[in-house]
Amino acid sequence: MDMKKIGGGVVALLVLACVALVGIGGGMTYMYQDDFQAVMGTKQSQKTAQLLPEETQLYMAFTPNVQAISGYENLKALYLDNPEIKAILDNAEKEILIEGDSQVNIREDILPWLGTEVVIAMPHFADAVAEETDDAPDVIISMQSRDLSASNTFVENEVNNTKGEPFVSEEYQGVTLNTQPQTNNEYDEMTIATVDDLVIMSSNKDFIKSMIDKAKGSDTKSLVDNPNYAKIVSEMPTNGISIMYIEISGMMDTILAEADMPLPPDIAQNMQAFKAVAMTGLLEADGILFNMIVNFDVDMLSEDMKAAMKQEPSSNNILMHIPADALFSMNSLSLQRVWEQTKISLEANPDFAETMTDFEQELGLNIDEDIFSWMTGEYAFVGVEAEPIDEYSPPVGGYMLIGSTDVGDAQTKVQKIVDVMLEQTGGFIEFEPATVQGIEVNSAVMQSFDPDSAGEPTGAYYGFHNDYFISAYPEDAVKALGNASQNSLADDASFKAIQPRLPSNNSGYIYFNFDKLRPMVEENMSPGENAEYDETVRPFLEPVHIMVVSNSTEGLEDGVAKGSIFFLITE
């Protein structure tokens, strides 16, 4: 969205919201009795939410006074005190202010009076997105003031100095509304006003009037009365530094109504069951934690989806077979279950049954019985460093582990699949027994047409290890699996320190090792890409060591799905 459309200066305020999130507002120590929890970082302010329309579909709130939170000092040392990052933020601020035709100096004109919250809201966001309109959704920007004299000076300067048509002032319930009419179709109309201790700007004057009505005692409902918002907020931690809330129920209805092809009834029913999604951010002493939540109506779900909601948590024992120095990994429970859920969606396609029949007749394999029926245990996909096979290959390898509650059945069915594969290759591929890092595997070898020449290893391996089926490429991936017994992800100190911040009853983890991934990406950049990367990206990424994602298996029966993302950020 082009923010110029809501008037000069608003772009600068959005920049403020972003930089405030990482604490540029440090040093703003103050204590209003009513705002004590917000000031201390133990609870997010809801001042603006109490005035916004109940049907508000996008709500983003930022807490500028993060210096009261323990994790602030960690980020301050790694980012705010970093000269490279200071320079990047300064340049970005200057460029955006120039492009926005604003004379606002954020540090001098706004930070001295900025209070407990910065809010960006779009009451009709989801509708505008679903309808694919060219018009930008109307925006509300609200900033709580701890010094009305200073913020009034800011409003006065905006009214007198912003480029474009002159502002027109009017009184509404004792509040002065300053409105800049639309300017040559370049800017939307913009209104700015101070409501109680909130400086509010909007491209829709009626929104501000409704907020004034609410502040003056109107009994109309606000966002905090919205049952979807209330449910999500009740499930979220109260001490977050940010929250983003999106009401998606209206978006789903519009998408379904305007779809070129009607969706199968079960899928349409499940889509309509989803009501809202939100994410909140918390500062931790060693990083940043994002908690995500989805709110849905259980009664609206199809019976198949209700059954799929009944998840058992993963034991995560498979983590013992993932090396701590893996580039990335993803583990969860039961590929058979994943297939069953996927098949429900695929069966809506009238050609699916015919495709399944053709596959089974051609190969003699039943997808349900021969391929997925034995994949009932934990599984994992793991990426590791590996010596490139040739000059064109990346220095990356990987392996897959699939557990089964009946290993004997798994071995029988894997052999059947292998026999079919060998038959399909016409004898050009054979498997030869091999031992790599103490693991017994079968190595795929491409046969030579010359009877006196040995076959050429393809780098592909399969076998069983500790009751897990293994599929790996190349040999270094098998070696990494063998090394996991000495240094596994399950025993890694950093990973173990992160786990308590994530759901205890979960379906598994997605893990990224930035200490390994970042140098690998940097080494494969061109000189031009590397120069730009060094100037704009590297300083932000260097302190980030690990990212872990996990979702909870609890609360689904109550219409709540939760997940968390943790970024380990230290020296």
The reply to whether 438 falls in a domain is yes
Residues in Cβ contact with 243 at an 8 Å cutoff, skipping those fewer than 6 apart = 44, 59, 60, 61, 233, 236, 278, 279, 280, 281
The reply to whether 530 falls in a domain is no
Residues in Cβ contact with 94 at an 8 Å cutoff, skipping those fewer than 6 apart = none
Q: Is the pLDDT of residue 324 over 50?
A: yes
State which H helix or E strand residue 89 sits in.
helix 83-99
Average pLDDT estimate for 507-520: 94
The reply to whether 275 falls in a domain is no
pLDDT tens sequence across 111-156: 899 988 999 999 888 666 655 556 677 899 999 999 999 999 999 9
Chain centre to alpha carbon of residue 97: 28
pLDDT score for 266: 73
Nearest to 120 by CA among 97, 107, 136, 99: 136
* Domain final position from 197, 217, 237: 217
Question: 274 and 296 in contact (C-beta within 8 Å)?
Answer: yes
Q: Is the pLDDT of residue 42 over 80?
A: no
pLDDT tens sequence across 408-454: 999 999 999 999 988 888 778 889 999 999 999 999 988 766 666 66
Total number of domains in the chain: 2
Instruction: Record the tokens describing residue 549, joined without a space.
Output: 């994602």
The confidence band for 396, taking pLDDT boundaries of 50, 70 and 90, is: very high
The confidence band for 19, taking pLDDT boundaries of 50, 70 and 90, is: very low
Question: Residue type at 114?
Answer: L
Place of tokens 């460029």: 95
The reply to whether 462 falls in a domain is yes
Q: Is the pLDDT of residue 5 over 50?
A: no
pLDDT score for 22: 35
Mark whether 65 and 191 lie in a shared domain.
yes
Which residues on neighbouring strands pair with residue 177, listed in sequence order?
170
Mark whether 208 and 340 lie in a shared domain.
no
What is the percentage of the chain residues whose pLDDT exceeds 90?
Answer: 48
Is the dihedral angle over the CA atoms 382, 383, 385, 391 positive or is it negative?
A: positive
Burial (CB count within 10 angstroms: exposed 0-12, middle 13-18, buried 19+), residue 407:
middle
Give the highest mean pLDDT range of 17-26, 451-460, 463-472.
463-472
Question: Residue type at 322?
Answer: I
Question: 544 and 286 in contact (C-beta within 8 Å)?
Answer: no
Is 270 or 60 the better-scoring residue by pLDDT?
A: 60
pLDDT score for 270: 79
Range of the domain at 435: 333-487
pLDDT score for 8: 36
Tally the C-alpha atoms within 13 A of residue 225's C-alpha that lie toward its C-beta.
11
Three-state secondary structure call for residue 135: coil
> Which has the minimum average pLDDT: 66-70, 410-414, 559-563?
66-70
* Domain final position from 455, 487, 519: 487
* Domain final position from 430, 455, 487: 487
The reply to whether 337 falls in a domain is yes
Mark whether 205 and 71 lie in a shared domain.
yes
Tally the C-alpha atoms within 13 A of residue 432's C-alpha that lie toward its C-beta.
13
Mark whether 78 and 213 lie in a shared domain.
yes
Mark whether 160 and 34 lie in a shared domain.
yes
Task: For 225-241, give the DSSP string.
Answer: G-HHHHHHHHHS-TT-S
pLDDT tens sequence across 538-548: 889 999 999 99
> Which has the minimum average pLDDT: 238-252, 466-480, 492-506?
238-252
Which residues on neighbouring strands pair with residue 59, listed in sequence order?
121, 245
Mean pLDDT across the chain? 83
The reply to whether 22 falls in a domain is yes
Nearest to 51 by CA among 248, 209, 234, 242: 209
pLDDT tens sequence across 276-292: 999 999 999 999 999 99
pLDDT score for 556: 87
Give the highest mean pLDDT range of 17-31, 119-133, 248-262, 311-325.
311-325
Question: Residue type at 487?
Answer: N
**Number of Cβ atoms within 10 Å of the Cβ of 457:** 16
> Which has the minimum average pLDDT: 117-131, 462-476, 517-531?
117-131
Average pLDDT estimate for 242-256: 79
Task: For 378-447, give the DSSP string.
Answer: EEEEEEEE---SSTTS-SEEEEEEEE-S-HHHHHHHHHHHHHHHHHHTTTSEEEEEEEETTEEEEEEEEP
User: How far lies 166's CA from each of 4, 152, 158, 180, 415, in Å?
Assistant: 16, 18, 11, 6, 79
> Which has the minimum average pLDDT: 342-346, 500-504, 551-555?
342-346
pLDDT score for 129: 65
Q: Is the pLDDT of residue 98 over 80?
A: no
pLDDT score for 30: 31
pLDDT score for 414: 95
What does the alpha-carbon distance between residue 8 and residue 23 come to, in Å, rounded to a whole number?
25
Give the highest mean pLDDT range of 121-130, 292-301, 369-378.
369-378
The confidence band for 511, taking pLDDT boundaries of 50, 70 and 90, is: very high
The reply to whether 560 falls in a domain is no
pLDDT score for 40: 43
The reply to whether 543 falls in a domain is no
Average pLDDT estimate for 312-330: 95
What does the alpha-carbon distance between residue 410 and residue 217 come to, in Å, rounded to a whole number?
68
Give the max Cα distance, the chain.
98
> Which has the minimum average pLDDT: 65-69, 176-180, 418-422?
65-69
Tally the C-alpha atoms within 13 A of residue 279's C-alpha that lie toward its C-beta.
8
Average pLDDT estimate for 85-114: 73
